[in-house]
Homo-oligomer: A and B are copies of this chain.
Amino acid sequence: MHDRPLLRDLGEFGLHRRIREILGAHSPDVWLGLGDDAAVVRTRSGALVITTDAMVEGIHFKPEWTSAPDLAYKALASTLSDLAAKCAVPAYGVITLGLPPDTPVRWTDEFYHTLAELQQEWGMEVIGGDTVRSPLILVSITAFGYQESAQPLSIGGAQAGDRILVTGTLGDAAAGLRILLGGAAPETWTPAQAALVRRFRRPTPRLREALDILRTAVPHSMTDISDGLARDLVKLCEASGTGARIVAAHLPCGDDLRSACESYLSLAWQGGEDYELLLTLSPAAAETLLKSWDPARCALTDVGVITPAPEGIRVEGGPGEWEEGFDHFRV
């Protein structure tokens, strides 16, 4: 057929590879460009970090479950999470909002009031944007920050032998989404279920934790876990030219997740939208970092080791179906 192949045949990874090929090499001032969580450009005043993220009604959220404050919160959190992955301090943002003309003004008031609170809390000032008419709700946020480290923290710097660390707990957001999809009325949720839904709706961008890490160690590679550890680890390993070995029993699962979901390990491995940090560093740096870390504020867990590329990505102690599920990501 004339129109083949379609995007669905190519997949996201394939599309991104193609875009990089077409747009070509970057100029020398671009330290990190297409293919990373955020771009980093060298300016006379330091390294400027830029990232953008979009959410579309029906694809990334359902209006039935998502209040205007929830949407504002999550759109901003997911964008700032990419800045955290670069150890950047947020500075400015521009926000494009597409809305149907029959949207109540109350909705936009709530959306922008939430942004007004969060720009205080997370230190990102909204300096511009675009409002457009659209048959469905869409949000696109571009955020800028200044990088605090001397060199760019790329997704592609992992080295065989590096320890693999993650912040916080994994799988909570995916469990929260599953609860929403189940359709049970909120008043019937257990406290654990309510906490998981809250993790899905209100993820915390690990901005402070990223700077805490940088104070002790410079990771060889770093990214945020937006698409699930499995998938983001593939991206990191592909970009670094390495493999990885994860110990399933070490995946950090919270009590709420364990009590609410039997398949908690699988959710921790594959579930997306936790927005925790994934980083790799030398064994010595990892040891120093873990020793100095205060787990009371946010967990930091050693979940495995970076291996040479031919070993691929393996999970010790994971159910067999994990390997299979995993193949989908390679497209």
Contacts and interface: CB of A to CB of B under 8 A. Distances in A.
Interface residues of A, number: 76
A5 B104 CA distance: 6
Contacts of A48: 43, 48
Contacts of A38: 128
Given A45-B43, A94-B142, A105-B18, A12 B116 contact: no
Interface in A90-112: 91-92, 94, 96, 98-106, 108-109, 112
A184 interface: no
Interface stretch (A21-29, A274-282, A305-313): A21-29
A54 interface: yes
Contact of A52 (B16, B102, B130, B138): B130
A267 B183 CA distance: 53
B6 A105 contact: yes
A126 B23 contact: yes
Contacts of A16: 131
A51 interface: yes
A98 B56 contact: yes
A251 interface: no
A19 interface: yes
Complex A-B, nearest 7 residue pairs according to Cβ-Cβ distance, in ascending order: A44-B45, A39-B127, A8-B101, A45-B45, A39-B128, A142-B142, A22-B112
A194 interface: no
A108 B50 contact: no
